[in-house]
Amino acid sequence: MKKLINDPGAVVEDALNGLVAAHPSLAVRDRVVYRAAGPRPGKVGLVSGGGSGHEPLHAGFVGHGMLDAACPGEVFTSPVPDQIVAATAAVDGGAGVLHVVKNYTGDVLNFEMAAELAEDVEIVSVLVNDDVAVQDSLYTAGRRGTGATVFVEKIAGALAEEGAPLAEVARVASEVNARSRSFGIALTSCTTPASGKPTFELPESDVELGVGIHGEPGRQRAPMASARELAALAMEAVHGDLPLEGDLLVMVNGMGGTPLMELYVVFAEVAAYVRGKGARVARSLVGNYVTSLDMQGFSVTVCRLDDTLTRLWDAPVETPGLRWGR
Amino acid sequence: MKKLINDPGAVVEDALNGLVAAHPSLAVRDRVVYRAAGPRPGKVGLVSGGGSGHEPLHAGFVGHGMLDAACPGEVFTSPVPDQIVAATAAVDGGAGVLHVVKNYTGDVLNFEMAAELAEDVEIVSVLVNDDVAVQDSLYTAGRRGTGATVFVEKIAGALAEEGAPLAEVARVASEVNARSRSFGIALTSCTTPASGKPTFELPESDVELGVGIHGEPGRQRAPMASARELAALAMEAVHGDLPLEGDLLVMVNGMGGTPLMELYVVFAEVAAYVRGKGARVARSLVGNYVTSLDMQGFSVTVCRLDDTLTRLWDAPVETPGLRWGR
């Protein structure tokens, strides 16, 4: 497996240097990515983080309208508490800090430890656990956190930008998670830079239904099928857990190695499925947002919108991974 | 090779249906993607097109501040003259139409034929031929057109949006091309949906220096090397053809199957190379913009900016592939 890296041990640092070189509005210090302009007095700070290898998540969502800081761990490895403590202290503008934590055991423990260590900062944590595929897994007790993280960070970030207090930002962040569901399907494994070998074996004839973003097992292996059939399998899992109703925010997310052309083919099928249930795709994202290195496959994430969430989704955002104006 | 498709023969149509389902500001008719709002009277219309499989190029660059229409061919196949004629007629707002044509023999011939067939519309064509890798190749007489197409479409699109006349839009489009150079390196082949097999063979030990966006041969095979060494090889090819000076717009483009983390590693090396030559990365793009299906690898495109080009690059844009506000 060939990779565009210098050294497997330096890949995270090298990539962060590239990120801030490409985006002068960001700064990196001690393995934390910040807005270069620093915290805004009176604004709730948003901090997230998790293993690297899921780019643009999380560091690519730092900027106006989303995160104030991101703590990237090594590839597929949780950030350490020191990173999170430093990020939390640095982004506190006096209104407290929200921790957005994907539900993986290591992330949860390290964010909890950091919250205990971070003195003199009011902190509320919101857990993202939108993946309906499995109840417990290799990395997680309960459901895993995946695509809804993007929705939580965007919508809570917009609310914080408006000056809402910490309790309200946290409430809406939790509400976005509660209204969101995800399901992923892998066509191939991913390969970490450190191992240089596929994380799991998947024959040419099969897909992994409900795969996790580190290549964790899902619900079952199934025969490779058409985009229509695979989209329906994913959407049935989502719809079975939270019925599709009303206006929806729908993301078809690439795992990193899947061509955009194919993601649009999947999106067309997802949109048809939604229409078939009498619901409406009111907002959407199609592309690579929560990746698993070079894995081929897709995940779909659905959030039931209301007027407030739609307004906050539409608010301006200026990050490497999501960017739009008024 | 597994692909998220329904039918190799329907992949372009299915993907276009997904594109317009995800982006209600776009419409598709007879295999042409338009702005749904139609042409703006008095504005120069911009039409581009080419083979599919390079998404988001070109259909993903239709929208305010870039193209008025895109004509996608079948995968790696030129659009037919009828598409181009229809697009040209539909986007003419009375101020004429600019054709942005990548230098591939089929594209050039079909755009020329369309320009002859499109009656009562003033048309100027600009040829993009920024790839320094090879002089002639499988698909092209002269140099191939690649990453600079994004720069030409963005900058000329912004100028057209300001109301500039056709001759001026065409002049600036040609200037952007003249100021731009590209070089690509493949780590793997791509696989078209129709064939289901890799387009070319590339051993695990080697890379293809100067690969074309359809997998055409480049300058030579070379041993796989570090990101630093590969970035230097690409930048030496660019710098040797057009010395790096002053403020630069730099794109590190993924071929479709390369993780974003790796593209940022490459960008860090490209930025260091630029600094080493005493030039400056004034603007940048890192991500998948001109892809080759699932190919792994990258290309780098550099444009020498001036104040006008920088201003037009920074102008608002609202397309699936590039999007930012004021």
Within 8 A by CB and 6+ apart from A19, the residues are: A26, A28, A33, A59, A60, A320, B264
pLDDT band at A147 (very low <50, low <70, confident <90, very high): very high
The C-alpha atoms of residue A207 and residue A211 are separated, in whole angstroms, by 9
**Residues B166 and B246 grouped into a single domain:** no
A209 to chain B, closest Cα gap in Å:
14
Cβ-based contacts of A258 with chain B (< 8 Å): 4, 257, 294
**Bridge partners for B302 per DSSP:** B181, B250
| Residues B255, B185 contacting (CB under 8 angstroms) | no
Q: DSSP alpha helices (H): ranges in chain B? A: 11-22, 81-91, 105-117, 148-161, 166-178, 227-241, 260-276, 307-314
Amino acid B326: pLDDT: 65
pLDDT exceeds 70 at position A140: yes
Please tell me which residue in A23, A64, A99, A214 is annotated as part of the active site: A214
Half-sphere exposure of B207 (CA within 13 A, CB side): 24
pLDDT per residue as tens, chain B (326 positions): 899 999 999 999 999 999 999 999 999 999 999 999 999 999 999 999 999 999 999 999 999 999 999 999 999 999 999 999 999 999 999 999 999 999 999 999 999 999 999 989 999 999 999 999 998 877 788 999 999 999 999 999 999 999 999 999 999 999 999 999 999 999 999 999 999 999 999 999 999 999 999 999 999 999 999 999 999 999 999 999 999 999 999 999 999 999 999 999 999 999 999 999 999 999 999 999 999 999 999 999 999 999 999 999 999 999 999 999 86
Q: Which residue of B has its CA nearest to A4?
A: B227
The C-alpha atoms of residue A245 and residue A31 are separated, in whole angstroms, by 41
**Residues A153 and A207 grouped into a single domain:** no
CA A221 to chain CA centroid, nearest Å = 24
Question: Omega before A214 cis (within 30°)?
Answer: no
Residue A320 lies in a domain: no
* Averaged pLDDT, A86-112: 97
pLDDT band at A326 (very low <50, low <70, confident <90, very high): low
Cβ-based contacts of B4 with chain A (< 8 Å): 187, 227, 230, 258, 262-263, 265-266, 297-298
Number of structural domains (chain B) is: 2
* Nearest Cβ partner for B227 among A5, A52, A228: A5
- Specify the DSSP class assigned to residue A116: H
Cβ-based contacts of B15 with chain A (< 8 Å): 261-262, 264-265, 268
Mean pLDDT of chain A: 97
Is A64 labeled as catalytic in the residue annotation? no
**Residues A258 and A164 grouped into a single domain:** no
The C-alpha atoms of residue A159 and residue A155 are separated, in whole angstroms, by 6
Count A/B contacts: CB-CB distance under 8 Å.
198
Residue A322 lies in a domain: no
**Residues A30 and A174 grouped into a single domain:** yes
| Domain final residue pick, B178, B204, B238 | B178
**Residues B188 and B168 grouped into a single domain:** no
Amino acid A260: pLDDT: 98
Cβ-based contacts of A207 with chain B (< 8 Å): 2
Mutate to test the interface with A, among B23, B226, B260, B261 (most CBs of A within 10 A): B261
Cβ-based contacts of B284 with chain A (< 8 Å): 21-22
- Judge: B266–A18 Cβ closer than 8 Å, yes or no: yes
Question: What are the angstrom distances between the C-alpha of A59 and each of A48, A50, A54, B262?
Answer: 8, 9, 10, 14
The C-alpha atoms of residue A220 and residue B210 are separated, in whole angstroms, by 42
Burial class (CB in 10 A: 0-12, 13-18, 19+), A265: buried
Please tell me which residue in A54, A58, A64, A239 is annotated as part of the active site: A54
**Residues A173 and A186 grouped into a single domain:** no
**Residues A75 and A215 grouped into a single domain:** no
Residues of B classed as catalytic:
54, 214
Residue B5 lies in a domain: no
**Residues A23 and A172 grouped into a single domain:** yes
**Residues A159 and A190 grouped into a single domain:** no
| Domain final residue pick, B153, B178, B203 | B178
| Domain final residue pick, A136, A160, A179 | A179
Residue B320 lies in a domain: no
Q: Which residue of B has its CA nearest to A268?
A: B18
Amino acid identity, residue A117?
L
Residue B116 lies in a domain: yes
Residue A90 lies in a domain: yes
Residue B309 lies in a domain: no
Amino acid A141: pLDDT: 87
* Nearest Cβ partner for A18 among B224, B268, B285: B268
Amino acid A232: pLDDT: 98
The tokens for A309 are 């969430």
Rounded to two decimals, the ipTM of the complex is 0.98
Burial class (CB in 10 A: 0-12, 13-18, 19+), A288: buried
Domain span holding position B68: 12-178
Residue B316 lies in a domain: no
The C-alpha atoms of residue A97 and residue A212 are separated, in whole angstroms, by 28
| Residues A10, A4 contacting (CB under 8 angstroms) | no
